[in-house]
Amino acid sequence: MNRIYLTFSFLCILKLGDCQTQWVRCPDNLVMMKNNDFYEGVAIGSPSVIYDSDTLKMLYGVGGRDSKGRISYAYSSDGISWVKYNNNIPVFDVSGPGNWDDFFLDTPDWLKDSSGYKLYYFGNTQNGAAGGSIGLATSPDGINWTRSGPQPVLAPGNPGDWDGLFIADPTVLFDGTSYFMWYTGADTTWQARIGFATSPDGFTWTKYGGNPVITGGNPQPNYSWEGFGVACPTVLKRNNKFEMYYCGVSWWDFADNGVIDTIKNGYATSTDGANWVKDPQNPLFNTYSAGYKITEHRGPWTPDAIFMSNESKYYLWYETAYGFGLATADDNSVSINNPHSDNNPVHLFPVPAASSLTIKISGAGNKDVNIIAFYNEIGQEVLRETLTGNVLHLDVSGLLSGIYLVSISNSKTFHSQKFQKL
């Protein structure tokens, strides 16, 4: 969203070398548009998506008419149709006056571990990158957030360091033991590069001594595709290998018209997160590659990718001038309209929910009769409904906030799942 950052783009259909997949641009692009209201009136950007409790959940940056940046939440059952939470009102706002993040928040990235949700974000005292740092907030439900402390968890380096001017764009993974972060850093020449840091707990971070781990050109004009710099990483780990998609920009962009509108994307892999091998086919694609539409002008920026293991498919959302686009890739030609085909036939959406809950039962017939019952934490039944067919929309606004056990039964089968009411 902050236009200092570099951008990301891809072909309508392309092969990604070592990744061995084909990316297909979603025909429904854009899958989310910005609203012309107070909070989103300037822009939306930097989508960060996780798959949690049968729900695709997105935190994203919003640029308000007061020039401040905040973070909002949306959810989806398929990655295409998104519901913005609470009438677009952000779930994470700037802090109080005088704090390091009191004016602008952006580039969120989040994960869920055994303690709840962790949100890493760019914060600053101005709508610009100089001096920006990376902060951390935690949440029990992914909606109500508390800052981890009064200071950022990762700050720029010393004057003259490769990341001495600002750092931004965190992407964070947790492998069950350690936390890994990759981020954009820049020096006083505005040369953007990608660095690496590790943490034992997600709070205390140590920068890698060999930073930066991904570089582009050099401070003097270099007219290669990533000659001006590289930025905006998104990292996955699959089959004991880290996969990074990152953005590159050339000095030609500035020599041409000063508008960064021919951004290109690269791909790299690593076994340890620190030593990366760039794909020999780089750059893989650019802004105006086949499939480009005017609605995707100045995109894609700040990509975010996840891998849906239950269908062997990658999903990638990205920022444009008007909203978010989506591309998918798989090896098995799984339909994009069925992103949750797993062994569990019952899906609750969204989780958590505030007022309305949808229950879907895969494989149920139009005449199957199902009994849906909700039990509170002390075992009392508090709600019961009958479902005929495979979809039931429930009004749960009357339930108290908390955790419930939901049972779904018929003459042949019984299933139960936990459900959280906001």
Q: Is the pLDDT of residue 342 over 70?
A: no
Q: So what's the pLDDT on residue 410?
A: 72
Mean pLDDT of the chain: 84
Per-residue pLDDT, averaged over 181-196, amounts to 93
Q: Is the pLDDT of residue 11 over 90?
A: no
- b/e per residue, 209-248, with b = 16+ CB within 10 A? eebbbbbbbeeeebeebbbbbbbbbbbbeeeeebbbbbbb
Percent of the chain with pLDDT over 90: 47
Q: So what's the pLDDT on residue 8?
A: 28
Q: So what's the pLDDT on residue 219?
A: 64
Per-residue pLDDT, averaged over 157-175, amounts to 96
* Residue 334: band (very low, low, confident or very high) from pLDDT cuts 50, 70, 90: very low
Q: Is the pLDDT of residue 220 over 80?
A: no
Q: So what's the pLDDT on residue 411?
A: 67
* Residue 331: band (very low, low, confident or very high) from pLDDT cuts 50, 70, 90: low
CATH topology identical between 13-330 and 346-421: no
Identify which of 210, 251, 259, 212 has the alpha carbon closest to the alpha carbon of residue 231.
Answer: 212
* Residue 361: band (very low, low, confident or very high) from pLDDT cuts 50, 70, 90: confident
d(CA 407, CA 67): 47
Q: Is the pLDDT of residue 298 over 50?
A: yes
* Residue 388: band (very low, low, confident or very high) from pLDDT cuts 50, 70, 90: confident
Q: Taking phi first (over 0 means left), then psi (-120 to 50 degrees means alpha), and beta for anything else, what does residue 366 get?
A: alpha
Which CATH architecture group holds 346-421? Sandwich (2.60)
Q: Is the pLDDT of residue 135 over 60?
A: yes
Joined together, the tokens standing for residue 48 give 């960060």
* Residue 257: band (very low, low, confident or very high) from pLDDT cuts 50, 70, 90: low
The four Cα atoms 100, 187, 206, 124 give a dihedral, to 10 degrees, of 10
Per-residue pLDDT, averaged over 27-39, amounts to 91
Q: So what's the pLDDT on residue 353?
A: 85
Using an 8 Å Cβ cutoff, are 346 and 370 in contact? no
| Torsion sign, CA atoms 128, 246, 251, 47 | negative
d(CA 230, CA 349): 38
Q: So what's the pLDDT on residue 338?
A: 36
Instruction: Pick the most confident of 8-17, 151-160, 185-194.
Output: 151-160
Domain map (residue ranges) of the chain: 13-330, 346-421
Q: Is the pLDDT of residue 339 over 60?
A: no
pLDDT in tens, 305-325: 899 887 788 898 988 888 998
| CATH 2.115.10.20 for domain 13-330 | yes
Residues 6+ away with beta carbon under 8 Å from 343: none
* Residue 85: band (very low, low, confident or very high) from pLDDT cuts 50, 70, 90: very high
Q: So what's the pLDDT on residue 4?
A: 39
Q: Is the pLDDT of residue 18 over 60?
A: no
